[in-house]
Amino acid sequence: MTDAVIAELRVTRHRAPLVRPWGADVRTIDVVEVDVETRDGREGTGFSWTPTIGSAAVAALLENDIREWAIGRPADARKLWPLLWAHLHEAGSGGITTIAMAGLDLALWDLESRVHGASLSEHLGAKRSRVAAYGSGVNLHYSLDELRAQAGRWAAAGYSAVKMKVGRPEDAARVAAVREIVGDDVALMLDANQRWTLRQAERALHELEQFNPAWIEEPLRADDLASHVRLRESIRTPIAIGENLHTIYRFREAIDIGACDIIQPNVVRVGGITPFLEIAALAVERDVTLRPHLLPEISGQLALALTAETEVERVEGAGFAELGLLTDDGPVVFDGASMTSAGSSGLGVHFSERFVLSN
């Protein structure tokens, strides 16, 4: 795409109500659609994503600094990403900056894949036709009965792995209930969403390790890598982090100092497909497990093309198509406990106007 030049960048905010709220204060998801057009009339669509906080700031960064910088430049995601990151660096090396950058990066990958008449996974060079999916729930606020019902749905779907939230005084009883329903042969992952201090995490894991958890996700504040190292030395359960790490430098640091066993990059929070692929290559180089965080519409397609096999997270009721954000069923297809590509050209993400926010 080095011969195509960006002529326009348009931003549209969408806010969809969650079918299954993630808590009293997380009842909607915001998606910032980014449409790119080149001088020769080609188009690509990408997006940025924030569950509750920051979509107006992301949209403003895209509409102002990124749009002004991008127009007139080559429509080449690989070349533009490091230049744009350097340009925006005074606004921060990650967070809002990389989340906004993802919108442009995904749009350019969509454009390039569509020009080649291929889906994203085909364009990247698909290594497999199907990947395993694991059931996931944002369920800390669920009653025990609601949690049991969700675990029953996971068992019925045939998942070989499932993930639940922890961080309540009655965690042991809740984990025991899920373990009983899904069975001992199913990998059971726990996600604390940064709720614990080091001492709290040590106490909690020493109690919960009787249920043989496959990993504990974000047990501590994501930025506190040193405490993750100390925790990892004191527990048997593997540690997974990464959904709130924003650059390859932080992933490399987390791996090299021994803060984790599994990394979980979120394709939007790291800045798009371009940096995600670099982080995936780092995982292969360092021989650590990579499990993409959320957004199966894109991470699922990436999983089909990664060198190392992985699993895709499917949060119940949170898919873009399930939420009514798309005009169709989306670019990936879930069949029980596995996922395939729908074969759509490009990213295959086509947003409806149902939940567009007016300026």
**Residues classed as catalytic:** 165, 293
Task: Assign 222 to helix, strand or coil.
Answer: coil
Task: Answer yes or no: are the C-beta atoms of 302 and 109 closer than 8 Å.
Answer: no
* 252 CB-contact burial (10 Å; exposed 0-12 / middle 13-18 / buried 19+): middle
The C-alpha angle with vertex 200 and arms to 199 and 202, in degrees rounded to 5, equals: 65
DSSP character at residue 62: I
Q: Is the dihedral of CA 88, 253, 306, 132 positive or negative?
A: negative
The C-alpha angle with vertex 279 and arms to 274 and 284, in degrees rounded to 5, equals: 130
d(CA 319, CA 299): 12
Which among 329, 311, 312 is positioned nearest to 320, based on CA atoms?
329
* 95 CB-contact burial (10 Å; exposed 0-12 / middle 13-18 / buried 19+): middle
